Structure 1
């Protein structure tokens, strides 16, 4: 009976965001290290090219992260075969050094908008994400992902 209750609760929570088009999170980081050479890919499809969308980057890390920001490179393969590159700094802390993540215990999650209220053509997209950290790997990474939502600001 408990399994049925949890399944129903899970399905109800998943269906709450009707604007969500895609949501995937990758937790496969050996020893919590995101290697500089490790490019993660995410594939999604836009069915309505008349809408505007928000593309968000999800990041999960161990609490007490020692870096204020992380350089991220996101390459987007568009349905027409063209590519768009978004280079951005993922902000871990604010100007006062306070963490921006939602922390529970030793784990913190944060989300940063990469594209907001942007027209995306209908079709298949492939997003490739890498870190521009100066060392061979970025430590204390629990996972990364992307979320694509229909923009509310239309």
Structure 2
């Protein structure tokens, strides 16, 4: 019986991993005192091997529950394999119109995802993404992690 359960579990894991739309996912953790310094852009490097698909870019962030700001101004630079950099400016929306956290909150932490670039055609090669905040002070408080996820568009 245990062998059948292990085989079934193994089969499910293989099936899920083979059908994943995610081509890249990485998270930076360990912000000292949960503060993300303005001068410390976070960098992510990944490769695109299939230029027949389109892709979505999603920012992931974890913050302390009941965040004191409704949104955070962000800047993202995407450098393509040719060395050209596209700069995107957008607001990371932390709370909805009613002041409720938009992320999935459990205990004292909330995990938030926001897609900031959708259905983009990418060439084969290596990409580097630099993410920084444009908050008015030296650091962004109550941040526990920051990540980038790149998915194939359906």
What TM-score does the superposition give when structure 2 sets the normalisation length?
Answer: 0.89
Partner of 2:65: 63
Distance in 1, Cα, partners of 2:138 & 2:18:
40
Distance 1:62 1:12 in 2: 32
Tell me by how many angstroms 1:16 deviates.
6.9
Which secondary structure does the structure 1 equivalent of 2:99 belong to?
Answer: coil
Residue 33 of structure 1: how far off its partner (Å): 0.1
**Runs of 4+ in structure 1 displaced over 3 angstroms?**
none
2:89 paired with 1:87: yes
Q: Shift of residue 15 of structure 1? A: 2.0
- For residue 50 of structure 1, what is the aligned residue in structure 2? 52
- Closer, same or farther: CA 143–117 of 1 in aligned 2, 3 Å: same
Give the aligned partner of residue 13 of structure 2. Answer: 12
Q: Which runs of 5+ in 1 are unaligned?
A: none
**Could you tell me which of 124, 135, 138 is aligned with 1:136?**
138
| TM-score in terms of structure 1 length | 0.89
- What's the counterpart of residue 115 of structure 2? 113
SS of alignment partner, residue 13 of structure 2? helix
**Residue deviations 1:1-26 (CA, integer Å, cap 9, x gap):** xxxx8xx78x9397275111000011
| CA deviation profile, 1:111-138 (whole Å, cap 9, x unmatched) | 0001111111111000001110001111
SS at match of 2:137: coil
| Cα RMSD (Å) | 1.8
Q: Aligned partners of 1:21, 1:79: CA distance in 2, in Å?
A: 16
